[in-house]
Amino acid sequence: MSSTTASASPPVPGTPASGRLPWGSLFALAMTGFICILTETVPAGLLLQITHGLGVTEAMAGQLVTLYALGSLSAAIPLTAATRGWRRKPLLLLCILGFLVFNTVTTFSSYYSLTLAARFFAGVSAGVLWGMSAGYARRMVPEPLKGRAMAVAMVGTPLALAFGVPAGTFFGDLAGWRSVFGILSLSALLLAVWVLWKLPDYPGEDAGKRLPLHKVFTTPGVRPVLLVVLAWVLAHNILYTYIAPYLTQTGFTGRVDLVLLIFGITALLGIWLIGVWIDRHLRPLVLVSLAAFALASVLLGIVSNQPGVIYLVAAVWGLTFGGAATLLQTAIAIAGRESADVAQSMLVTAWNLAIGGGGVIGGILLETTGVRSFPWVLFILLSFALLIAWRSRAHGFPAKRL
């Protein structure tokens, strides 16, 4: 049985009986994740409009994404550690208020520097939010439902990537890029009301149980999970960031939307399957997901000029990565025990490092060895992640729940 703070906390009003999920509360967390991811990624689809609106170059407009990631990266560990004694509901509301305020600033700002600052502090809100959301979801349910609750709470991420960004881009073309951020601000306001209405509150971590950061990092199982996060997410982001040039250079110009649609649909299927099985089969799900993605990478490297192969690989990619966040957050929550929220913040940091690293390493590969090296680099990274997960039988990805 897991010994996380979540399982140790006494029941509070609003906590459901065994066998039931608090759907309204979990969907509120899912919506929080949806707004978080959409705020981060939608500038990519509105890049040309932002360029003209702020009077900057495309490269400068692209820094709106970079500053958000830097905010998340810099805030995740220190602010999660600093606020781990705070009650959970007020902290969540403060993060949502951050999205409301800073997306509103982005909506109306005509100054590039002010917009960058707003993006950075929106990222700070996201860093704190991701550090606490998984633990919040786990505390709402009894032990047998913790993984399923996290799967529901995390569904906002694939929804934002698969449908939110295309919808935001489409609406931005119709009504302007500022209106998209205005809608995100309004959504944050409505979400705050929903959270006040539906979510139960929980105490923060007891001061007497707070471990120093270095002891959380050296807790058995935490480091193996972080290594798997780095390798797995790095492999994903090399391909995801440069999927357009990859498809173009392999003869599939104009099929980026279709490939990403297949990825998005199968990612949703993947997170549903993870939600059904995660509470009983965490370790096998991680191993199978990594092995299948690695084999798909080999197939992509051997046969990359057949549409059927490309679509098959996109389907396997989405199916195996859709539930990755839920699998990895569950694993580190179990490994982190009483310091699960701080361990989650370390996962957020590793995840953002992998996102940035995917852009850098993929760009270097693109300019040197070309896109045909992508599948083999992915295979090496995924094989490394699979080896770490396989060896972490006692802690990290245990054969038996601790």
In the chain the domains, ranked by start, together with CATH numbers, are: 16-209 (1.20.1250.20), 213-391 (1.20.1250.20)
The confidence score (pLDDT) of residue 183 equals: 95
In angstroms, the Cα distances linking 95 to 64, 67, 77, 108, 285 are 19, 17, 15, 20, 32
The confidence score (pLDDT) of residue 3 equals: 32
Q: What are the φ/ψ torsions at residue 38 (nearest 5 degrees)? A: -65, -40
Q: How far is the C-alpha of 107 from the C-alpha of 209, rounded, in Å?
A: 42
The confidence score (pLDDT) of residue 288 equals: 96
Question: Largest alpha-carbon pair distance within the chain?
Answer: 60
The confidence score (pLDDT) of residue 189 equals: 97
Contacts for 369 with CB less than 8 Å, ≥ 6 apart? none
The confidence score (pLDDT) of residue 115 equals: 95
Q: Do 1 and 401 contact (CB within 8 A), yes or no?
A: yes
Contacts for 167 with CB less than 8 Å, ≥ 6 apart? none
In angstroms, the Cα distances linking 166 to 33, 60, 218, 270, 401 are 17, 22, 41, 20, 39
Q: How far is the C-alpha of 371 from the C-alpha of 364, rounded, in Å?
A: 10
Contacts for 333 with CB less than 8 Å, ≥ 6 apart? 2, 4, 6, 134, 135, 138, 146, 150, 340, 343, 344
Enumerate long-range contacts of 167-173, CB under 8 Å, 24 or more apart. Answer: 168/38, 168/42, 168/45, 168/46, 169/42, 169/45, 169/46, 172/42, 172/45, 172/46, 172/49, 173/49
Locate tokens 């058995």: which residue? 220
Q: Exposed e or buried b for every residue in 229-248, given b needs 16+ CB within 10 A?
A: bbbbbbbbbbbbbbbebbbe
Locate tokens 């940091």: which residue? 349
Task: Give the residues of the chain that fall short of pLDDT 70.
Answer: 1-19, 206-211, 254, 400-402
The confidence score (pLDDT) of residue 242 equals: 80
Residue 307 CB coordination number (10 Å) = 12
The confidence score (pLDDT) of residue 11 equals: 42
